[in-house]
Structure 1
Amino acid sequence: MVRKDRIYSDSAGVPSHPPPAFVCFLIIGQCLPASLSLSRSFFFGEWRACQAAALPPPLVSLGRRRRLLKGRSFEMADVAKDLAAGTVGGAAQLIVGHPFDTIKVKLQSQPAPLAGQPPKYSGAMDAVRQTMAAEGPRGLYKGMGAPLATVAALNAVLFTVRGQMEALLRSEPGAPLTVNQQVVCGAGAGVAVSFLASPTELIKCRLQAQSALADSTASSGAAKYGGPIDVAKHVVREAGFRGLYKGFVPTLARETPGNAAMFGVYEALKQYFAGGQDTSGLGRGPLIVAGGLAGASFWLFVYPTDVVKSVIQVDSFKNPKYSGSLDAFRRILAAEGMKGLYRGFGPAMARSVPANAACFLAYEVARSSLG
């Protein structure tokens, strides 16, 4: 686990020294330098080849420069393909899985019932019925604007960092990686994507949870949000830009092991279905199964962390119920036992299988179609 506690130690779960917004762009800039070079002229490519050879331009042979440029062009093409395919996969995942995610967050964030009273939602189906009755089908897609607006950036980071780490770990171009190496690649991608996922998740969760929290917060003047931008404005007004990173630590603790497990399981299943042969020839059926089970493995490893993340991110800034992630964990465990740490687990698992099957299938199809 990456140790961020010394930096992100605010008692309310808000980072004391949060990553500024431009960190997100720095990550993308670090991960996608090659894609930005696609528009450079041949002259600059030639000059980079000379620099890579550590020789003055007149002494570099034309053949050597061409080989260097060819390797560079392959690298740039791989980054661009990961970017495009990751975006397609993320869009497919979001469209298929968002209604399940809405129900999950409603169940996670509903206030604990008073003694002798039933909870607002008795279960996942009851949450669906109440949401449909009160808000119609649109209610199941509430909060989708924030992840939809950032799906390109999130998946660009996730799949491109993973792809670049794969390239670093390969003994030679095109060589297959072991499952353990894929786990490392997934963990690294999870760390990178956390910086973008944290503010996106906060906005999404606050939109999804506001109806579940309405009864308990009506008398406290809780904000009623009109959309993702309105959430961001309220948060910045109340807590500054660092407020957008409330819950960053549990987000990091979710994304790092979760993506390590997901990509490791995905590649292990692909290798199993391929029977030790090249996995690039797998049909859509095995890819759907591998993607769905890989998505399920994500939540099996990190679901309690996701519950803590959700309650921290929907908590009040002015009068927080929890002093931090550990406090939220202890209080949920004390009040509800282990069951409380798995609120909404059913919808999460129901979402993860079809959503990630769609994501990985769309990614693989788009990636292969790009050559």
Structure 2
Amino acid sequence: MDDVAKDLTAGTVGGAAQLVVGHPFDTIKVKLQSQPSPPPGQPPRYAGAIDAVRQTLAAEGPRGLYKGMGAPLATVAAFNAVLFTVRGQMEAVLRSDPGAPLSVAQQVVAGAGAGAGAGFAVSFLACPTELIKCRLQAQSVLATAAPAPAAAAAAATVAAAPAAAAAVKYGGPIDVAKHVLRSEGGTRGLFKGLFPTLAREVPGNAIMFGTYEATKQLIAGGHDTSLLGRGSLIMAGGLAGASFWGLVYPTDVVKSVLQVDDHKSPKYKGSMDAVRKILAADGVKGLYKGFGPAKARSVPANAACFLAYEVTRSALG
């Protein structure tokens, strides 16, 4: 098995581990991001992450925390294979001799370059995958968003129509894809939110891979990290995951609100319009809805991802 095939295999295993560990946190993040601002004087649907977990478990059971996992699971192989394969190839380019260890600076360059280059590539996989995932995760929030009372006037009923239209009930990932392709502009509809996805993946992955390599070098006390134990790899992966969201989180909020926006009566005209309206409605904190679950997810999920990758890659020789 050549190096590319090894990176493909190890990247797939790492991605699966990341998804299984992190998806419940991601579900709560998307629910918090997509819940509409409440009317004046009314509380939001979810008071916070813990309340979102409690309500989700009460209404949907533990399976509710894993809604939408089918779409990313189906593409996790391609997604992480691209990331880790590009990283492996960049390391090979930077080595002076085959098998020679890289310096700290070279490791960081390889990690950051792979993150940026692969981040661009995987955005085109991530965007439709995450649109499907977010629709499934958020539909219970949208279904109960600002319902009109039964005795309300006709005007109130008409005003509530966009919310009802947005509350499409999907049977699963294939159902979402069929609906988008049929009713939202064909293939183009699956790439709604591509710009904020690019704005998240390119710098976010550059920071994450750079942090991972730099942390391994720091723990090892030099450029040779081959002897690091699993505990050290978990620590490096966890720190790398935490670093991902520090700069790019608002782009993820914008991506999510665009992807769950109603196609027939859209609230947002595009990314910049979404930013303006979020700031007007909720201030800067609106761009950080769900930040707690995202950070809580990033540490264990990425620790699992990098550990699974390293262990698998080492086992393949």
Normalising to structure 1: TM-score of the pair?
Answer: 0.78
| Contact 1:104–1:344 (8 Å) recurs in 2 | yes
| Corresponding residue for residue 120 of structure 2 | 191
2:267 is aligned to 321
Structure 1's unaligned 5+ residue stretches are 1-75
Q: % of aligned pairs identical? A: 78
Structure 1 counterpart of 2:149: none
Post-superposition offset of 1:163? 1.6
CA contact 2:30–2:134 (8 Å) conserved in 1: yes
Task: Read off the aligned partner of 2:278 and give its amino acid letter.
Answer: I
CA deviation after TM superposition for structure 1 residue 184, in Å: 1.6
Which of 209, 225, 236 in structure 1 is aligned with 2:170?
A: 225
Q: 1:339 aligns with which of 272, 276, 285?
A: 285
Answering whether residue 248 of structure 2 is matched by residue 278 of structure 1, we say no
Q: What are the Cα deviations for residues 289-335 of structure 1, in whole angstroms up to 9, with x where unaligned? A: 00001001001121011000100111111221100001101111121
Partner of 2:140: 211
Cα offset for 1:337?
Answer: 1.1
* Aligned counterparts, 1:88-107, within 5 A: 88-107=13-32
The question of 1:182 aligning with 2:96 is answered no
Q: CA deviation at 1:277?
A: 4.3
Aligned to 1:143: 68
Q: What is the CA-CA distance between 1:189 and the residue it aligns to? A: 1.2
Aligned to 2:86: 161
Query: Is the contact between residue 161 and residue 192 of structure 1 (CA under 8 Å) also seen in structure 2?
Result: no
Tell me how far 1:183 sits from its aligned partner: 1.2
What amino acid is the match of 1:148? Answer: L
Whole-Å separation in 1 of the counterparts to 2:164 and 2:314: 55
Q: Deviations over 1:64-115 (max 9, x none)?
A: xxxxxxxxxxxx6100000000010001001000000000000000011011
The Cα shift of 1:146 comes to 0.3
Shift in alpha-carbon separation, 1:333–1:83, aligned structure 2, 3 A? same
Which residue pairs with 2:59 in the alignment? 134
| Contact 2:91 2:107 (8 Å CA) reproduced | no
* Greater Rg over alpha carbons, structure: 1
Check conservation: 1:332, 1:340, Cα contact below 8 A: yes
Q: Structure 1 stretches (4+) deviating beyond 6 angstroms? A: none
Cα offsets for 1:15-50 (capped at 9, x unmatched): xxxxxxxxxxxxxxxxxxxxxxxxxxxxxxxxxxxx
Aligned partners of 1:193, 1:153: CA distance in 2, in Å? 8
Unaligned runs of 5+ in 2: 146-161
> SS in structure 2 opposite 1:281?
coil
Alignment of 1:17-28 (within 5 A): none
RMSD of the alignment, in Å? 1.3
Alignment length (residue pairs): 296
Inter-partner Cα distance in structure 2 for 1:297 and 1:250: 18
Q: Provide the TM-score with structure 2 as the length reference.
A: 0.91
- How much has 1:128 moved relative to structure 2? 0.4
